Amino acid sequence: MTVDPSFAAELRAIAPRLHHYLDQFSQARVLVVGDITVDEFLTGQVERVSREAPVLILRHETTRQIPGGGANAVYNLAKLGAQVKSVGLVGKDEQGQALRRIFTDATIDTEGILVDPVRPTVTKTRISGHARQSVTQQIVRIDRKSDDLPDVELQEQLADYIRQHLDSVDAVVCSDYGDGVLTQPVIEAVLKHPRVIVDTQKELYRYKGAMIFTPNLPEAEKAVGYAIATPADLMKAGQDLLNLTQAHHILITRGEEGMSLFGRDGSEQTIPAFNRTDVFDVTGAGDTVVAALTLALIAGATPWEAAILGNVAASLVIRQFGTATTTVHDIRSTLNQLLEQ
């Protein structure tokens, strides 16, 4: 990984503070409200083409289940050492039970995860196959989800749980993948907390007044209604998003172009990408940014400092295939490597 020489001096100046914030991550208490998902991976070896239809027959080898969607944000926070309460919905199915087991093993509080008896746990099953001595490739993905909103009573139960626990947490993260958990009663309950971090794929205006939003570039373009192709477009989009959301800050993540942070005071700050070459999979990188950003803010970092730590964390997970997490130790080591350049 490399850092732009002009940015390196700024990084060295704040390095002691960044390390101090990392030391505080384990003290943070976070409530995550989100669309929790199971990412399921079924892998097998291709034996032959079926006589029933022109399709491959796989001999099953492994099944792996990991947190996805909003559950990945929860898991990232836990792996970074935070004390995490998860709020969301699962179905009355094996995938929901599996997710609870994964969370319990990671010491995540699952009391706020309620069972929806009529909707399935959102599950994305990727079926992959390989021939002998060849690479494994995805063949098909099967999604299990419902387009119906949860019952009004369930929405109110989630909102009640949130209200009961707001005073016991340092921040609330909203991880909205559009799967129905973050309805209006739930959002209204969340916004009672002074430190709300929002990661949503659409309808940012529903969270008006939250502390900080973290859209990626396509999400930002969708929200403002125009392409962001030039620095002038980017500046305009930042201000338009601030007006739309009434947020304190907007952090637009821009892939290999880094991140741009906009403040209500008219400020704009850019954090360059630290990893432009060893990029294997960006899946879930936004959840990693949100996790590190949130914990840094709780530790006392400025939004700019918090975004830097979020950027370092994301630069690590995109080097791995599939939804991934990182640790404080790895972030610290990478930060030291950047400072030595």
Active site residues: 287
The DSSP code for 279 is: -
**Alpha carbon 197 to chain centroid, angstroms:** 11
Q: How many Cα atoms occupy the beta-carbon half-sphere of 202 within 13 Å? A: 5
Helix ranges (H only) for 32-111 are 70-79, 94-105
Residue entry with tokens 């709020």: 87
CB-based contact 294:174 (threshold 8 Å): no
Per-residue DSSP letters for 111-171? Answer: EEEEEETTSPPEEEEEEEEE-TTS--EEEEEEEE--SSPPPHHHHHHHHHHHHHHGGG-SE
Q: Which residues contact 130 (CB under 8 A, 6 or more apart)?
A: 43, 45, 46, 136, 137
Reported as half-sphere exposure (CB side, CA atoms, 13 A), residue 176 has a value of 26
* CB neighbourhood size of 325 (10 A): 23
Q: Which two three-digit tokens encode residue 98?
A: 């599996």
